[in-house]
Copies of this chain bind each other. A is one copy, B any other.
């Protein structure tokens, strides 16, 4: 099976050519400040399920622009002390689904929150969060929605939602705000990198085969969607290449990693033709925090480590958060 990207040792030598914009930090600070200023109220409604070992809440919190964003909060029914918080962002096209779909974090003693991705949630799991913002001409999907202006770009809203989720949940009395972690696979990994880059209350980040990293290389190496939405856009709008890549710099996981101090557990798959290995390593190498490691899966495509990596994450995070034994 030919590898779709560099392999070792060339892979080790690769570094992203993405330059962090001078006003990168400021762009995100003002973006966040704007949405925080709008404010809004969080709602938590207990959900009816057959689950007896956990409590489930249907949460709505104010995201970008105060827009309501949904998520499931699942936590052990019996809880002696404050719980560490793990926020998971989901992969491209999916939504928060049903609360019974993913229970291993709550069963391990975490307050676990799975956030909807606005406007997504119809392709492989269901979501319930609108993206109440329109777009100029775009390729179907999210990658080129508003891509001609960094202020209009779809992921500006999503990354802000990701931070605002933490704003909302850190306040809850059963949450230990000193032990906050974020994770996610693919797009969820990309969002978690962004959130861990913007928000320093995040102590640990676990990007699993992350998407949204090193865009200039990614769109030229990926063999399958969704990076190719950008290629198809440029194949039509042939004159807008510079404009598009200029926007994407503000949303590149490599730039977020460069300013993240969170402990990090990355994963990467060498046969991944959706999120090419070099783009993941580009972020990993750039990661500022010193406690970082990466798990490599040589013979996997974008499914990566799957349950192996889940297990790895559970071990790694419970250690870091002092939950062992």
Residues of B within 8 A of A144 (CB): 122
A136 within 8 A of B: yes
Assess the B49–A314 pair: CB atoms within 8 A: yes
Q: Contact check, B131 vs A134: say whether CB atoms are below 8 A apart.
A: yes
Q: Which of A263-313 contact B (CB under 8 A)?
A: 271, 297-301, 303, 305, 307-308, 310-311
Q: Given A76-B52, A134-B133, A314-B50, is A235 in contact with B139 using a C-beta cutoff of 8 Å?
A: no
A9: interface (CB < 8 Å)? no
The residues of B that contact A107 with a CB separation of less than 8 Å are 51-54, 100, 103, 107
Given contacts A100-B310, A238-B299, contact A136 B130 (CB under 8 A): yes
Q: Which residue of B lies closest to A224 (CB)?
A: B1
Chain A, 99-131, contact with B by CB distance < 8 Å: what is the 0/1 string? 011011011110000000001111111111111
Residue from B98, B136, B139 within 8 A of A310 (CB atoms)? B98
Given A127-B137, A141-B140, A299-B231, also A50-B315 (CB < 8 A): yes
A174-221 at interface with B (beta carbon < 8 Å): 219-221
B137, A134: Cβ atoms under 8 Å?
A: no
Distance from A93 Cβ to chain B, minimum over Cβ atoms (Å): 8
The answer to whether B134 and A130 have CB atoms under 8 Å apart is yes
B137 lies within 8 A of A128 (CB):
yes
Contact of A119 among B135, B219, B301 (CB under 8 A): B135
Q: Contact between A236 and B124 (Cβ–Cβ < 8 Å)?
A: yes
Q: Are A307 and B234 in contact (CB under 8 A)?
A: no
Query: Is B100 touching A238 in the complex (CB atoms < 8 A)?
Result: no
Report the separation of the CA atoms of residues A227 and B228 in the bound assembly, to the nearest whole angstrom. 22
How close is A141's CB to chain B, nearest CB, in angstroms?
Answer: 4
B98 touches A222 (CB 8 A): no
CB of A63 within 8 Å of the partner chain: no
Q: Which residue of B lies closest to A299 (CB)?
A: B234
Closest residue on chain B to residue A101 by CB atoms: B307
Q: Which residue of B lies closest to A227 (CB)?
A: B1
- Contact B301–A235 (Cβ < 8 Å): yes
A125 touches B307 (CB 8 A): yes
Instruction: Evaluate whether A237 and B103 lie within 8 angstroms (CB atoms) in the complex, with A2-B4, A4-B2, A307-B97 already known.
Output: no
Q: Which of A53, A221, A307 has the most CB of B within 10 A?
A: A53
Chain B CB within 8 A of A20 CB: no
Name A's B-contacting residues (CB within 8 A): 1-4, 49-54, 76, 78, 93, 95, 97-98, 100-101, 103-104, 106-109, 119-142, 144, 219-223, 227-228, 231-239, 241, 271, 297-301, 303, 305, 307-308, 310-311, 314-315, 318, 323-324
A98-B311, A132-B135 given; name 4 further pairs at CB < 8 Å. A50-B323, A93-B140, A100-B307, A140-B141
- What would 16 A/B residue contacts be, using CB atoms closer than 8 Å? A1-B223, A2-B221, A51-B104, A52-B76, A52-B108, A53-B107, A101-B104, A103-B104, A119-B134, A119-B135, A121-B236, A128-B137, A131-B135, A133-B134, A238-B297, A238-B308
Rank and list the top 8 A-B pairs by shortest CB-CB distance, nearest first.
A132-B134, A140-B140, A121-B137, A100-B104, A103-B103, A234-B299, A140-B141, A50-B314
